[in-house]
Every structure is written in structure tokens, then in C-alpha cells.
Structure 1
């Protein structure tokens, strides 16, 4: 009997490994699509389980550091992760992809080519963001400054959303990225299913117009522009999940007072209702409520995801992805009890919503680094070899998601969190 149990256990483990490889590290040959409030690949359910690594293109463009990209994808695949979100921009400044409007550094571009080819090799899907709201890698500020240098009389960086010349700069960048012929794979970006989705802007905000109309108009212009070039890939805005001043059913958001009170000129409902937007996104950081104790912050984690999933289900009728979530621990290192509790709670909520077939279809933590990358530390990072408790939570989450895709593996997983 003991020998039989051992054999069965080994078979179960092999089946689990095969399933994880199939769903998280196999060949990427079909585009991710939406079906109602779900993601699907070739008709089968797909769940986003992964991380952010904005730095991939910059590391890949240096021969001495390319191996970091390969290592992080290999590591992610071994943990069952399926999606990585990264930047397809670096505007002006140090080692830019785009040094001035329409002028690109081919070596940096080849770095992005390598990122996509390595992602494909390891069965990882990519979400590529096209510009930043913030200035660290140029972003909308750099676009406005370029326009000023060309004679535009601009007084606000929010004119990124309204000035014709600036919008033309952005559209040209979008077109350049989408029509790029990958020097590693020979596949034009718009034709590559390794890319899961495009993101219009990382955490776009327009505080000069809290009515939300400026941001809404920009999305209504740019989303169809992207789709006119690329009708295959999914498209999302890059929102954090806040509600603004646009008119919509207040009953839909009355349960989410924090999201309603933090107006940054975006609107989770109206922005995501644009026809060309395929799925909704939110970000999640307990640092938004810094005075709250740990218990209150964990409740916020649960409420934030649940409330937006409900709106995505009942109002938007589109999938939802938590494209950033993370926490800075009060304790040294990444194994602090508060940070571990945050990750356990976030993944528990994600798993239960996925199992319930809600609109919430997964999440990506911020951010994954490797040992020796301390210069990119922002205190949110996870280094899997050093963050053992969180690494185990991520690994368990991957197994649980795999068991949803393949129910025969259900008893292989640990007891529900």
C-alpha cells in the first residue's frame, strides 16, 4: 500500500508540473482574448499571475546584463508565473529609447526585442506600457518639454493630453512600437502573441481637470488609434482604480468611499467603458492609507479588490486585472510579518475571486528583482531567493491557479488559504 501511495504521489506531482508548464511556461502561439469578463487563450481560460519589472529593456540593452532578463524569466516560469508588465518607453534622459520625438536608439530597441524573444522562450506573456505619467523615465513631462522646445506655449504637463503636437508625438511613438520588426524573432510586435496587451499610460493622472473630461477625451482618442493599427492585442488604460467627477450610477461605487474621494482626474468606470478598452486595471498599495494599522490595511486590500471586481462584473462587464500591488514593510528585509500578511491576503483574495469566476482574473506584484540589483530597490521589491515566505505564497498561488485550470489537480494543492 505504501509503495502504491508513493507511485500515486509521484504521478500527481508529475501531472502538476506538466500542467504548470502547459499553462505558465509552454509555447506562446495564440493571442489572449476576452470572453465576457474572462481572459481566454484559444477558448481556454487564462489567468494573469505574475509581476512587474520595468527595468527589462534597459538591462537587455547592455550585453553585460542581458543574462538578468533570461534569469528572471526562467525564475518566473519555474514559479508558475504567466504575465510580466514592463515599459516600452524611456523618453529622453539617460540611455533613452526615444532621445527626441521620433528619434530612437537602435541598441535600446534591440533590448526590447530581446525581452520579447526571451519572454516567448519561457512562455511568459507581456503587458507593454507605452508612456509614464511620472518623470523618472521621461514620461508625459518629457513630451511636453519637447513640444515647448519646438515653440509650443505650454504651461502644464497635463497639456500632454490636449496639445495637438504632443498628442502627435505620442501617436508616432505608439505606431513605432506596434510596427517594430523584432530583430530577434522576425515578428512585428503587433503580430506577436507573446504580447498580451498594450497599456496607454502608466498611472495616468490629470489633476488640472478633476472633472475627468480631459482624461476621458484622451482615452477616447488614443484607444481607437491603437486598435486601428493593431486589432489583435488587448488594450488597457493603465488606471489605478480611482473614481472621478464624471456622471455614472453612484450606487455602483457607494461601497468604495476611498476610491471616490481620491480624485486624480481619472474615472474607473467611464474610462474603462470606452469601447476599444478590453479590460480594466487597478493598482493596490496600503501606503495610500499610511496612518491605518495593519488590520485596517488588510481589510482595505480585500475591499479594494472586491469592490472593483464587482463593478467590472456588473457595470463594465469586462475582465479586471490588479496590474500592480505591493507593500513596504516596517521591518528590515522582505520577510517582515506585515509584508508577508499583505501578500498572503492579496493572493488569497485573488484566488477566491478567480475560483468564483468573477471578473477579477489575476494580479501582478510590484516588483521582482534579482540579487545584486540593489540600485533599483524601492523597498517594494521581491527577491525570491531572499523572500522565502513570500516566495512560498507565490508558488502556492500558482499551484492553486493551475488546479482551477485543471481540476484533476485539485487534491494536489494545499488546503485553501
Structure 2
């Protein structure tokens, strides 16, 4: 494994030598120095009054890798991942900060939280380790605290904890779509479930890092706390029944986080229009006057039926055009709200939908370059689209089974969550063409700082 790490790390060394990237210079900060926190100024992020624009990745499993437990942890790999990403110019990681022990088939196991009690302290110790290592590399974290989807337990699991185990599992053919989002949206109006969640928010924001001695709420490494991964107000077929509860939950939860961690930003984790009953007004209302500091949106051409990997010649260009319009639409929302926005999830599978790391990434590379071009244009014009996080960073990970499925007890994490094929959207450390595109984008973004 060490030989593999070393060989793949040479790819970034090559990029350094040819000038695609430059190693970032770490700027140490004092934990009590309020100027070191990421701020919002108009439609921009700033640090110490200077623009903060970033190239980021999703690495949901970072705290798991940081654990010292033999079944899930691999601190040597985590350090290699961070070195690799830092050398590329990546300065932002979007990380899972909560997981719930669940009866859902595809929920990650082990999980941090069980019925409101911390069951796996070692995973939080892993988050301690991750934050300390990120700080050494001048990286910032966006930590999401819940999940609308099943793969980390999430809102459906909270509901099951307070209603005698009742749950809807999206993997169960007896409860076809959209039964799951309709069920899960009940979370917003169930006070016992939201109270358990708020209890976790209190615990995580006040946690004192076991390695640095700094409380999470006082650590500028944490750019933002995020209410949840892709929280949806139900499903459009259900007549917006939970929309008022959704808005109220956003406002109440954002207010709570701000009262506990006033120096850190709060974001929603929204997909944008496609995750908000396909309603532009829903997006605007979810971000306006609710205590949310900046806007997020996600972009999934395949999941939303725009692109078919088995028919790329027929579907790719039209899907890319639709994606461009989606980006433009959300830039306009951010302009209207007067806040920055981040495309914090976007991805595409390998050619023909293959999972193998050896499969080509022709269309993914084209898509990444296209999206990055839109961000570069916004940054050059002083626009609100100022950052991105690819979904997802697989790095030095690899699928452990021939069918590319995740199984409980697997300790080798890639970017894809448990309900998806391991390798579906993962970018690995040996994806040289993709990494070159990301590194060049990072260099351009630095020029706009």
C-alpha cells in the first residue's frame, strides 16, 4: 500500500514541477483570533478582509479515516490525502460531522450517534485529528450535521427513534418513490426528533478538540456548520405540505447554531431548485431571512435525467447546456439575495457508467472543465459564485468487492456513500487528466484572490 501511495503522490509532484500548481503557503492563526474566521462581505467570502475563493472536494468520510479504531481508521492514508489535495491547490473540504445508527439497509455502519448518545467517540476523535491536520495546511471545513438521505442515518432515523421504530427504507420495493422523501420531511414538524438533533448540535459545537485543546466553535478551520446534506421539504407530488415546517426549521436551527458558534457561518446544504420542490421561490425563501449566511446548490446531470452515460453522444451536449442554465439561474438567485454561492456538489460517472478506476473519464473531464469555466468567469467578474466542491474525492481508496458495493464493516472508504456503487462518482489520486484540470482551475482561482 505504501508503494501505491508513493507512486500516486508522484503525480502531484509532477504537476508542481511543470507549474500547474504551487504549494500553498500556510498562514498560522491563533484560535482566539476572530479575524481568521471566514466572513461574508456582500456577495463574497473574506478572511482578514481579503477575498476567499476556493477549490474544494467532498470527503464525507474524513472523520472516519481520522479515527484510531482499527475497523475504520487510517490516519496514514488521511495525511497522504491531505498532502495530495493541498499540493493540487484544494483548500476546502465538505465533511460529514454526524451519523446515526439506523435500521436503514444502506446507512453507514458504524455510526457516531445512537438515540441521542455518542456511541463511537473514536469517530469524533477522528474529526479532531482531521481538523488539526487541515489547519496545518490552511484548509477550511464545511461540516454538515444531518442528512435528508439514508446513507448516514439522517432525518429518517431520528424519526424512527421517537416513533417506536417506524421508518421508510428507500431500498424496500414495498415503499416505492416518493414514499421516502414524504416520510422524511415529517422530521421538520416532529419536536421530539428535532430536539434530539438540537442536542447533538449543542454537543458538537461545544466539543473541545482533544489534540489542540480548542473548542470547535472557536476554531477558524471550521468555515461553516451546515444544517444538513440536501434537506428537502418533501416532494412536489405532496402539495408542499411540509414547506412551512421546513422554513421554520431552517430559521430555528440556524439561530441555534449562531447562538452557540457566533464566529462561524451557517449554510443550508440545499441542492437548489431541484431539491426545493423545483420551485425558484422555495430556494429564495429558504435563504432569505432564515439566518443562512450563503447559498448552496448542487448539480447532478445523470440523477436528474439530463444525461445518459450509455448514450453520451446523444445526451451529453444537451445536458451540459441545461447544466449551464442551472448554474446561471442560481447565480441570479445569489445576486438577488446579495450573498455568495457555492456549487458544493457536482459529479459525473466514468465513460459508459463504469466503476473501475482504470475506466476513462472523457466526459467527466469535459464536464469539470465546463463547470470550472463558469466559476472562473464569475470570479473574474466579481460575481457571487466563488467556490466549489466536487463529489467526490476517492483519493487513495478503492472498492473492496468485485461488485463495487459497500458492506457494513468495510473500512476502505471512497467518495461514494454506502447506497451507491463504490467508484460511481469518485475521483482517484491516479486520475491524472481530472487532477490536471482541477489543479489548473486552482491556479486560476488563486489569481483572483
TM-score range, shorter chain: 0.7 to 0.9
Per-residue deviation, residues 375-408 of structure 1 (Å, max 9, x unmatched): 44241010132x1111110010011111222xxx
> Which residue of structure 2 lines up, in the alignment, with residue 76 of structure 1?
85
Which stretch of the first structure deviates more once superposed, 344-353 or 296-305? 296-305
Rounded to whole Å, the distance in 2 between the matches of 1:317 and 1:393 is: 30
Rounded to whole Å, the distance in 2 between the matches of 1:261 and 1:99 is: 31
Tell me how far 1:310 sits from its aligned partner.
1.6
Secondary structure of residue in 2 paired with 1:369: strand
Rounded to whole Å, the distance in 2 between the matches of 1:372 and 1:233 is: 31
Tell me how far 1:83 sits from its aligned partner.
0.3
Which runs of 5 or more structure 2 residues have no equivalent in the other structure? 1-16, 31-35, 103-108, 168-181, 309-313, 401-413, 415-421
Aligned to 2:24, which of 4, 21, 24?
21
> Which residue of structure 2 lines up, in the alignment, with residue 231 of structure 1?
262
Aligned to 1:342, which of 367, 370, 383?
367
Rounded to whole Å, the distance in 2 between the matches of 1:14 and 1:45 is: 27
Tell me if 1:179 matches 2:223.
no
Tell me if 1:290 matches 2:312.
no
Rounded to whole Å, the distance in 2 between the matches of 1:79 and 1:395 is: 5
TM-score by length of 1: 0.83
Higher helix share: 1
Q: How many residues align?
A: 371
Given that residues 28 and 123 in structure 1 are in contact (C-alpha distance below 8 angstroms), is that contact kept between their aligned partners in structure 2? no
How do 1:125-136 and structure 2 match up within 5 A? 125-136=140-151
Given that residues 54 and 388 in structure 2 are in contact (C-alpha distance below 8 angstroms), is that contact kept between their aligned partners in structure 1? yes
Which runs of 5 or more structure 1 residues have no equivalent in the other structure? 1-12, 244-258, 406-417
> Which residue of structure 2 lines up, in the alignment, with residue 39 of structure 1?
45
Per-residue deviation, residues 38-87 of structure 1 (Å, max 9, x unmatched): 00000000012110011111121135512222111111100011100010
Secondary structure of residue in 1 paired with 2:345: strand
Rounded to whole Å, the distance in 2 between the matches of 1:126 and 1:140 is: 22
> Which residue of structure 1 lines up, in the alignment, with residue 58 of structure 2?
52
Change (3 A) 1:266 1:240: farther
How do 1:370-409 and structure 2 match up within 5 A? 370-375=395-400, 376=414, 377-385=422-430, 387-405=431-449
How do 1:77-226 and structure 2 match up within 5 A? 77-93=86-102, 94-149=109-164, 156-207=183-234, 208=238, 210=240, 212-226=243-257
Secondary structure of residue in 1 paired with 2:111: coil
Q: Cα RMSD between the aligned structures?
A: 2.6
Rounded to whole Å, the distance in 2 between the matches of 1:103 and 1:336 is: 40
Tell me how far 1:103 sits from its aligned partner.
3.3
Rounded to whole Å, the distance in 2 between the matches of 1:136 and 1:403 is: 38
Rounded to whole Å, the distance in 2 between the matches of 1:286 and 1:14 is: 33
Given that residues 32 and 234 in structure 1 are in contact (C-alpha distance below 8 angstroms), is that contact kept between their aligned partners in structure 2? yes
Rounded to whole Å, the distance in 2 between the matches of 1:43 and 1:334 is: 44
Given that residues 279 and 319 in structure 1 are in contact (C-alpha distance below 8 angstroms), is that contact kept between their aligned partners in structure 2? yes
Stretches of 4+ aligned residues off by more than 6 angstroms: 13-18
Per-residue deviation, residues 285-311 of structure 1 (Å, max 9, x unmatched): 111123571111111222211221122
Rounded to whole Å, the distance in 1 between the matches of 2:334 and 2:120 is: 39
